[in-house]
Structure 1
Amino acid sequence: MEPRISFVTLAVADLEPVRAFYLAGLGWPAVFDDGDEVVMIQAGPQLVLSLWRRDAFEAEVGYAPSQGRAPLTLAHNVATRAEVSEVLDAARAAGAPEVSTPQERAWGGFTGYFSDPDGFRWEVAWNPGPVGQLVLHDTGEIERGDGDAPRT
């Protein structure tokens, strides 16, 4: 089996504010939106982020525990340190209920976090190491740092 993730699906309690956050707030275009149960956004060349109303999700997949914050983060890597703050500012302007101040990390990168209206946490990361570069589109010149630690 080839190592690959094609879809990341988030079961959300209320699809409307989540749809508004990603589509209108962040400006991400939907590749599919049925208007009622699911919104799909192309999040990479071969990756789709699917936002699925929780009850519709559970009807197909089964019970999804809803207590507390999901023990996972999604990551949005950027090519420069400055972009971390820019993306966090965009999330704040889009209505993210929580946005952290970006910080220097011991592994040599610079990151901060925001949450979407349903509480899913996003890491915004500048990673000057080889793993960080692996996940970026070919953007030409990549800002390099002193650290070269693997990080996603």
Structure 2
Amino acid sequence: MDQRISFVTLAVADLAATRRFYLDGLGWTAELDVPGEVLMIRTGERLVLSLWARAEFEKEVGAIGTGTGVPPITLAHNVPTMAEVDAVLRTARAAGADPVRDAVERDWGGYTGYFADPDGYRWEVAYNPGPIGQLVLP
């Protein structure tokens, strides 16, 4: 098996709100858009963010566990400078994101902050000057 992830699939409560946030708010482009069912956005050379309406997700995958707190997953968007971290956080907040955490300098030498999409999925926006951070930049 190749060492790779091809899709990150998330179930969303309101696909129309999700579409407005990602396409209209963040300015991303859909690769596949089936109203009421799924929105797929290419987020890397060989990576797709697949956002499914909960009912459609459950038909394919099974019942979603529910509870309180933050969903147990984060997504990350790395950028090459600290200034770009702040710019992306401003864009997300203008699109209606929950700000979650302002960017701060981290003990490991990076600079990161967080926002949440309409379903509460946390996005880390990060400047990582180390080798692993450089690995993921275009």
> How does the TM-score come out when normalised to structure 1?
0.88
Alignment-derived partner of residue 13 in structure 1 = 13
Alignment-derived partner of residue 134 in structure 1 = 135
Alignment-derived partner of residue 74 in structure 1 = 75
RMSD between aligned residues = 0.8
- Residue 66 of structure 1 deviates from its aligned partner by 2.8
Q: Give the % identical residues.
A: 64
| Kept in 1: contact 2:76–2:126 (CA 8 A) | yes
- CA deviations 1:36-92 (Å, max 9, x no partner) are 210000000000001100111000111111323211100000011110000000000
Alignment partner of 1:19: what SS? helix
- CA deviations 1:100-144 (Å, max 9, x no partner) are 21000010000000000110000000000000000000xxxxxxx
Alignment-derived partner of residue 122 in structure 1 = 123
- Residue 14 of structure 1 deviates from its aligned partner by 1.2
Superposition pairs of residues 24-63 of structure 1, within 5 angstroms:
24-63=24-63
Residue identity matched to 2:21: F
**Which of the pair has more CA radius of gyration?**
1
Report which of the two has the higher share of strand.
2
| Kept in 1: contact 2:15–2:35 (CA 8 A) | no
CA separation in 2, counterparts of 1:5 and 1:26? 23
CA separation in 1, counterparts of 2:39 and 2:101? 26
Gap runs ≥5 in structure 1: 138-152
Q: How many residues align?
A: 137
CA separation in 1, counterparts of 2:84 and 2:27? 16
Runs of 4+ deviating beyond 3 Å: none
| Kept in 2: contact 1:77–1:127 (CA 8 A) | yes
